Amino acid sequence: MDAAPGAAGCGGRWCVVTGGRGFAARHLVLMLLRSGEWRVRVADLSPAIALDRDEEEGILGAALREGQAVYASADLRDKAQVANAFEGAEVVFHMAAPDSSINNFHLHYSVNVEGTKNVIDACIRCKVKRLIYTSSPSVVFDGVHGIFNADESMPYPDKFNDSYSETKADAEKLVIRANGRDGLLTCCIRPSSIFGPGDKLLVPSLVAAARAGKSKYIIGDGNNYYDFTYVENVAYGHVCADKTLSSEDGAKRAAGKAYFITNVEPIKFWEFMSLILEGLGYKRPSIKIPVSVMMPVAHVVELTYKTFCKYGMKVPQLTPSRIRLLSCNRTFSCSRAKDQLGYEPIVSLKDGLKRTIESYSHLQAQNQRSVSKASILLGNGNIAKTLLWEDTKQTMTVLLLLAVIYYQLFTCGYTIITAMAKLFSLTALFLFIHGLLPANVFGHKIEKLEPSNFHISQMEAHHVACSVRSSWNSLVGMLKSLCRGNDWPLFFKVVFFLLIVSILSSMSSQAAFKIGIPLIFIGFKAYEKFEDTIDSLVGDACSFILQFGPTQNSSRPKQT
């Protein structure tokens, strides 16, 4: 394949990006083109390149039209296609790999191992000077033990978490051993947990889970730390590796080595997920499920998939390897990359998250009312959160407290003063025993109650006041509407509500408590969920009743 004439930059300096239409590879292609130092050959499986609209109008589209970039259709498992794509290239960025979520050993071995052998052979045949291989931190993960701030001295495990990790490790070994063969210099980059615009796995999967109501769960205790890496930092790490290998001194210190690349900002895995979900308008995960509970389920799911995959069953999300990845620490040191490659993140984690969330505006929560009528009626504060089940933990705590109050006030037959005294005594006893317990009991962590938990901050007091004010203003607004005499649906709602109150008030305190509390918690939630349907039914009922009454203004003399 000949270089297109008339290209800008450094004449005939060609580089190749395998898997060039993949997530991280697209960003590397753009970075190489922006530098003006390279003409880029984008190699991938498809027979021809199909650009998105923004690509057509952007740097890549212009580069393809001007000859600064060309597309090469190449299957890594075909030696002739790989060699043809590499012809005349000075450096190859080998980024192609199958989807890591598909645990198919034959697929991963054929592409990651056999395909990498073909890449190395083609580099030597075409006299490529440098080969930068995109590896993975999973090559040092055994699927059992967490990793905290590991450096490149960490050995490969005896057993890998999945076939993807195992074959990536095999490919990495091949690339490192190929260093120095016929003048070829090699280097391996291990980017940790890549995220950013254009990702078709992490964010879409999160949103799909959120829309299916499955994003509320945390696997494990939620305290496991991860190193996430913004995609432009991954691309920059590859560029740093190539620049280092292109100098004599750099080649001496970096050739034949592997490097971890991260954002150098470890963060709790579930906090990272929560920030993305909240940024897109979804609720953050809050319900913790122990790994010991999830793992047997995951094994059953995986066994079912292995049995029925030949009949077209889709790859499940819930697998043992996925559970391990979601619940353990995975952080890595970038010291070697910093010292030997000159790598430093060029985009912070905060900015990377912001750019990522903005790029997925089309996946934001759809058809979500910013504030429901039920929430407005309840003041948009903690009362609304509790009665509308927006904070499940808070709602369950209040229900438990109400159950204790019911037992103390009604079941035991105490007077109010005696019941309150016993309630406070039980609370004091609980706090005393809880304070005596050690931080860890039989492997279970005991979260201690801090004194600050019992203080009401100025902000919290302000929120309570705002909630009361909002509820009062809502009631005043309803009163104004009733005084105008033209809001029949509201009138019937108020009449219905007052009817319920009058029925409850005619009962004994015990019966009113037993019926009224569940009715409040269920009623407001039901109204929020079926708000449009209820309003429509009330409106239809009003219209039906009013059609039998006097027509508007029929009894009034006409004004002249």
Give the active site residues: 168
User: How buried is 148 (Cβ within 10 angstroms: 0-12 exposed, 13-18 middle, 19+ buried)?
Assistant: middle
**Taking Cα atoms as reference points, which of 28, 33, 34 lies closest to residue 14?**
33
User: How buried is 400 (Cβ within 10 angstroms: 0-12 exposed, 13-18 middle, 19+ buried)?
Assistant: exposed
- Cβ 131 vs Cβ 123: under 8 Å: yes
- The torsion angle over the Cα atoms of residues 451, 454, 455 and 459, rounded to 10 degrees, is 130
What would the DSSP string read from start to end of 162-217? Answer: SHHHHHHHHHHHHHHHHTTGGG-EEEEEEE-SEESTT-SSHHHHHHHHHHTT-TTE
- Written as six digits, the tokens of 346 are 């060029």
User: How buried is 441 (Cβ within 10 angstroms: 0-12 exposed, 13-18 middle, 19+ buried)?
Assistant: exposed
Q: Can you tell me the distance from the alpha carbon of 331 to that of 149, in angstroms, rounded to the nearest whole number?
A: 5
Residue 20 CB-half CA count within 13 A? 30
Amino acid at 140: V
Angle at 257 between CA 253 and CA 260, to 5 degrees: 110
**Taking Cα atoms as reference points, which of 349, 105, 127, 83 lies closest to residue 226?**
349
Amino acid at 444: H
What would the DSSP string read from start to end of 225-259? Answer: EE--EEHHHHHHHHHHHHHHHTSHHHHHHHTTEEE
- Cβ 1 vs Cβ 70: under 8 Å: yes
Q: Can you tell me the distance from the alpha carbon of 27 to that of 229, in angstroms, rounded to the nearest whole number?
A: 13
Distance between the two ends of the chain, CA-based, in angstroms?
91
The CA R_g of the chain, rounded to the nearest whole Å, is 32
Q: Can you tell me the distance from the alpha carbon of 429 to that of 530, in angstroms, rounded to the nearest whole number?
A: 43
- For the four alpha carbons of 368, 370, 373 and 376, in that order, the dihedral sign comes to positive
**Taking Cα atoms as reference points, which of 45, 36, 35 lies closest to residue 73?**
45
E strand or H helix that includes residue 481: helix 458-484
The runs of H, that is alpha helices, within 227-370 are 231-245, 248-254, 269-279, 291-308, 320-327, 335-336, 349-359
- The torsion angle over the Cα atoms of residues 452, 453, 458 and 463, rounded to 10 degrees, is 170
59-63 LR contacts (CB < 8 Å, sep 24+): 59/30, 59/33, 59/34, 60/26, 60/29, 60/30, 60/33, 63/33
